[in-house]
Amino acid sequence: MPIPSPVKTTITEPPPVDVYASERENGAIWRVEATSGLLTVTANDIDYGDDLAVDAAGNLFVPRPDGVVELPAGGGAPTQIYTGVFVVGIAADPAGNLYVVNFDGDQALKIHRGGGSATVIWNGPSDAWGIACDAFENAYILRIHPVVVVKVPASGASPTTIDPSGIFPNEVTPAFTVDPQGQNLYLSRLDMTSLDSQGLPQYSTILKVPLNGDPHTSFGTDLRAIGLAADTKGNVYIADSLNDRILMVTNSGSGRQVTIAPLTGAERVAIPPGVPERPRLPNLTGKLFGDAAADGGGWIVIGNQFVPVPPRSPVMALLVQAALRYRGRAVEDRKSVV
């Protein structure tokens, strides 16, 4: 079947990043173009598995019973890049590595950039169902008996377990993801009390589980989330199969819900992995002392944030004037510096 031409949807607020979504009925994968909202089929008649990943260049990866298939950005023939494992879950990091869970649910592997070689990063009970990764190559493995998430550090340190089992019945978590910063997990929880005519759950709730120990929160109503993704700007993307759409929720799930594309039978969603912006420290003699000279105040450092403080005594101004001579250059006479 030929790939349809791009279409401009009526959505007024396109996503800030390219969003890819799979549609099981036609075996198609669609791209919602960043900033324009243009909707394009990037692959068609694809016999893909139950997950979807995309790298920073826009190459798509789908799991198969015989490994992983790459669908090149811009079209072209699919390529088998890894064999020997029946893959059910897949994720990509900014460096181009892939992470997969096998069908038996007892092993997770890291497929190194370019395919071919793979490293086993986790062995466990036969209950793993999905995998995600943050921008720092830490992997997160979803287990469903009970529902827990195992974090496998890229450093090789011992795995740790995040345990939301108290709010998740077994086997009712069809999708999960982690934000690139590695700060929050997002999990879909199916409502087993409301079933459709085929006996399938009609609705689900999205739970945000902070990894710093803060209480979880929930968002999303009247939807069925089968796929989840999160970007560096705090937007969460949902493949809502109940309402045939791709939904974007702003502000880490606490903001507005915006439909960014209609998509019949939306199943999985993925975005190119992003690297969080790191705070840039101001020039210590220019920014720090310059601002202090202007108002007599200064800055305090809390973590990686510079916070201005109100004006203080005239002594500050004197210290600043003494320091300004070194603005933009190193202090050579260390004995003269207190």
β 204-210/245-249 pair status: unpaired
| Span 3-33, pLDDT tens digits | 444 454 556 688 999 999 998 777 789 999 9
Count Cα atoms within 13 angstroms, Cβ side, for 142.
Answer: 26
Lowest mean pLDDT among 81-85, 196-200, 323-327: 323-327
Report the percentage of the chain scoring pLDDT > 70.
77
**pLDDT tens digits, 274-284:** 988 765 555 54
Out of 38-47, 71-80, 307-316, 323-332, give the one with best mean pLDDT. Answer: 71-80
Q: Are 172 and 190 in contact (CB under 8 A)?
A: yes
pLDDT of residue 278: 66
Give the max Cα distance, the chain: 82
Q: How far is CA 198 from CA 39, 189, 194, 317, in A?
A: 30, 19, 11, 75
Residue 239 and residue 248: Cα distance in Å, rounded? 9
Mean pLDDT of 309-335: 54
Pick from 72, 116, 68: nearest CA to 89: 68
pLDDT band, very low/low/confident/very high, at 321 (cuts 50, 70, 90): low
45-79 pLDDT per residue, tens: 676 657 899 999 999 999 888 889 999 997 788 89
For residue 174, the model assigns a pLDDT of 81
Residue 321 CA to residue 315 CA, distance in Å, equals 10
In this structure, are residues 12 and 260 in contact, taking their beta carbons and an 8 Å threshold?
no
Q: What is the distance between the alpha carbons of residues 217 and 137, in angstroms, rounded to a whole number?
A: 26
**pLDDT tier for residue 200 given thresholds of 50, 70 and 90:** confident
CB atoms within 10 A of CB 278: 7
**Alpha-carbon distance values, 58 to 63, 96, 254 (Å):** 16, 11, 28
Q: What is the pTM of this model?
A: 0.80
